[in-house]
Structure 1
């Protein structure tokens, strides 16, 4: 990848400046889809030529699985109709019976989900200059998840944990642009416009044995890696931790990666992935397919992405 960009090194104790890069106005002043615009009919047709075996690998966690990492309350799932209703005397015309259920969950935190571009902002301004007054109690008037595209594009796995030969990266480890480039070089992969980049930290493996530690400091990308990805014109960045970015944040910052990638660059973030099976295949490039629920004005959506190998 040739970006013409050299990562900057911050001095010890220096609060990193927000990168001087933005996608504001790139697709017009009224744009609400952001980096989803990188996905075009041409790039889709190119991505469709990637599969070699037709194997499909699920990249999401199972909603309601007690073994699935989560933040906050778990999803609530209950039955509206079940066999007990018919045993109790519910009518079954000509023997026909059916089950139905209901699910209630937060769009962030408890499941594999995609962040809408209107999910975060700073300075009272969202991506592309939209005012924060567009964020209403009834939902987002601008930049809701219903404006996100269906992602049918090339997926690139950057398996940092696998490259280092560890089950998971250390708590608080910041993945840098140099880390990403090193793994890309080993796999012989060059980032392309519209890519969905998935970063494996292995942090999902901490959940089963150390649930408390899972919610503490965690590995992830910082602003250095974020600018590297933004300048590569990727459409989406996902990871197998709870928020893509490293914790703790750099001194003097709050969610700097979310602020930069979502608000400044309109690049979608995909959180709570399960990349273990994909990592085991050894594939770095694949067809990535994912489509969020079209919930009008929502700040995010549960999502079930897959890799087609």
Structure 2
């Protein structure tokens, strides 16, 4: 037995009932209008025409629009499920990335950098602040300026090789100096650590990984160097196609790192302390 509080459900049978009812009423209206000649005739004809319009519109909606809408809903549902599977959160210009969310509440930061000068301007203070607010393990990967790794990256950025190699060295030196200064000021948590590694392989895409999210930043094409970089935001979920690819990519870059890091400041009590840096 139907519950009066359930509302009206537009089933297929009811749709056809509405169509047939509208057609019957419209035909009756046309017949009635043919029997009268006063001003009421125009009113009846108008009502009959409106009923025909309702019938036609209902037929179109039922026969064409509803199947198409249902199909689109299924496609959207499938796309949403796929986006959840890969962990995709958003695609935005790099300037619109919610960096405070990336750095907040995380205890692990692993960053592979393509553009060292820009990265230092945007992220050095944020990394140091994060390592001061909570115990954080920070790893920075840079293309090695001592071999051919930097050459390809420099070309993709439209920068002269020597200038790019110097930018990499400056970024490593500046971050090390800032970290040492914070350590001397006791502005870092005791167990926060920083490792800077030169990688003997080109880094084509900047990769930012924290406990909160992962971010891939694709540089603009050669012909569009003035265009904003595109950022792909990924949820911190594990066991997805993208997260597995990301872990492998970072693992490959770390494996290609030079044997001795440029700089390492490990937690107190660890076997590894501030290390001698490799020649620059």
Same fold (TM over 0.5): no
The two structures have a TM-score, normalised by structure 2, of 0.24
Query: Between Structure 1 and Structure 2, which shows a larger proportion of helix residues?
Result: 2
The two structures have a TM-score, normalised by structure 1, of 0.22
Higher relative contact order (CA 8 A, sep 6+): 1
